[in-house]
A and B are shown apart, each in its own frame.
Chain A
Amino acid sequence: DVKVTQSSRYLVKRTGEKVFLECVQDMDHENMFWYRQDPGLGLRLIYFSYDVKMKEKGDIPEGYSVSREKKERFSLILESASTNQTSMYLCASTVGYNEQFFGPGTRLTVL
C-alpha cells in the first residue's frame, strides 16, 4: 500500500515564525502536492512538484514556498506564519494518470 506520511498531526506556531511541514511518500511517486483545507472552501492547491527540484504554483501559493530535494520528500514552508494560515494542510502523491494518495494531514494553528 502507498504510504504518505506527514511530520506532524498538530502544530501550534506564533505569528511571524518560519514553519516547515514535511511530507514523505514511500512509493517512488513523481508527483507530489500540497493542499490546504478550510471549512466551506474545500481543498485548494498550494504548490505541486513533478520531479525533484521542480515546483509549480497552484491556486493559492502566496505566503508559501516548497522544496523537493529528494523524490520521496516534499516540504511546505511558511516563511512568516500569519493567523490566516491556520488550516488543515494535506500532502498527496501520485504516479501517472491515477488517483492521488493523501497523508493524514497537519492541523496548523497560528496564534
Chain B
Amino acid sequence: GESVGLHLPTLSVQEGDNSIINCAYSNSASDYFIWYKQESGKGPQFIIDIRSNMDKRQGQRVTVLLNKTVKHLSLQIAATQPGDSAVYFCAEKGHNAGNMLTFGGGTRLMVKP
C-alpha cells in the first residue's frame, strides 16, 4: 500500500489496549480542533472535533481531550482494533482563519494482533 508519511512518529499498541495520540498546537487563538484518520491510499476521514469552550468530548470508542493551558490535544482510542491502524493527525482553526485549517504532521498507529 501507499505510505502517507515515511517520517512519522509511530505508536505501536497491542490489540485491545487503549491508545493515546498526542498533538501540540501553537496558535493560542485556535478555537476549533479536529482529529482525522487516514488509511493507506485513502483520503483523511473525520473522527471527532472539539471547540475551545470544551475540554473533553466523547464519541464511539474515541475521546478527545483539549488542554488550552499547554496547547495540547489528545485522541484516546479505547480497545484498539486492527482496523484502527492508520495515520492520525490533528487540525486546528484559528478564530479569524475563516474555514482554513492548519494540520499537524501526523502519528502512525500500528496495532499488533
Contacts and interface: CB of A to CB of B under 8 A. Distances in A.
Interface of A: 4, 31, 37, 39-43, 45, 48, 50, 58, 88, 90, 94, 96-105, 107
Contacts, number: 59
Nearest to B48: A99
Contacts of A97: 32, 93, 99
Contact of B34 (A31, A58, A99): A99
A90 to B, nearest CB: 6
A39 B43 contact: no
8 interchain residue pairs of minimum CB distance: A102-B43, A39-B6, A40-B7, A43-B103, A42-B105, A99-B46, A31-B99, A102-B44
A103 B43 contact: yes
B104 interface: yes
A42 B89 contact: yes
Interface of B: 2-8, 32, 34, 36, 41-46, 49, 89, 91, 93, 98-101, 103-106
Contacts of A39: 3-7
A106 to B, nearest CB: 10
Nearest to A106: B43
Nearest to B35: A99
Contacts of A98: 49
Contacts of B43: 4, 90, 102-105
Given A97-B99, A100-B99, A102-B45, 4 more contacts: A40-B6, A42-B103, A88-B4, A102-B36
Nearest to A103: B43
A58 to B, nearest CB: 8
